A and B are shown apart, each in its own frame.
Chain A
Amino acid sequence: MKERPASEIALERINILFELAEKNYRRREELARRYLQLAKRIAMRNRIRIPQNLNRRMCKECYSYLVPGVTSRVRVRSKREPHVSITCMNCGTVKRLPIKRRKQE
């Protein structure tokens, strides 16, 4: 029987954990944090990257699930270089995403 590679199962588990964190972040903050921490460990163990869209919803320091308006503050800053800054309301860590100009194709 052909075995599925561990990285495929790892990716499924990471997606499941992020979905669970989304359901739970309001009532059970600590549970959502634990799920995200677990997702990161699974990714590290199996040497795969968490998908970018999910990684941006996770705080690097405290593993909170970032929801704009509720657990995070999102601002567009135009000084220096235009970028989007996401501030985690639990620990104060700021995640900055530079805005890239789309090239004309």
Chain B
Amino acid sequence: MISSENIILHELIGLESLVMTSSNPTCKVKGIVVDETKNTLIIEQDDVRKRIIKQDSFFRFKLPNGTMIEIDGSAIIGRPEDRVKKKIKRRW
């Protein structure tokens, strides 16, 4: 199951999400993730698709078991098929 530990590796498509970005007001989107590329997430809100850059945003996802998790976009950069294999950035 998707959990707070493996959200980085797991499928983001289909999750409800809220984008909390500071600078650009048009980027504050709430909706369902429909597609994913290396650097962006495509979120759909009322039949309008918005492409949000992962690097500059904070995302809040609602997991199927009800938990809400907030995550920095730069932690989920990568093509979806590449993200399955562990991407761990060691800072030390």
Specify which of A1, A10, A13, A35 lies most central, judged by the most chain B CB atoms within 10 Å of its CB: A13
Using a Cβ–Cβ cut-off of 8 Å, how many residues does chain A contribute to the interface with B? 20
- Listed by A's residue number, 23 A-B pairs whose Cβ atoms lie within 8 Å are A1-B5, A6-B86, A9-B9, A9-B10, A12-B1, A12-B2, A12-B10, A12-B11, A13-B10, A13-B11, A16-B14, A31-B34, A31-B35, A35-B13, A38-B13, A38-B80, A38-B81, A41-B81, A42-B80, A45-B82, A45-B84, A45-B85, A46-B84
Looking at the complex, which one of B5, B35, B84, B86 makes contact with A13 (CB distance below 8 Å)? Answer: B84
Q: Tell me whether B4 is interfacial, beta carbon within 8 Å.
A: no
Name the interface residues of A15-46: CB closer than 8 Å to any CB of B.
Answer: 16-17, 20, 31, 34-35, 38, 41-42, 44-46
Interface of A is mostly: helix
Name the interface residues of A30-88: CB closer than 8 Å to any CB of B.
Answer: 31, 34-35, 38, 41-42, 44-46
B44 vs chain A, min Cβ distance (A)? 10
- A12 / chain B contacts, CB cutoff of 8 Å: 1-2, 10-11
A-B CB proximity, top 6 nearest: A41-B81, A13-B11, A16-B11, A45-B81, A42-B81, A20-B14
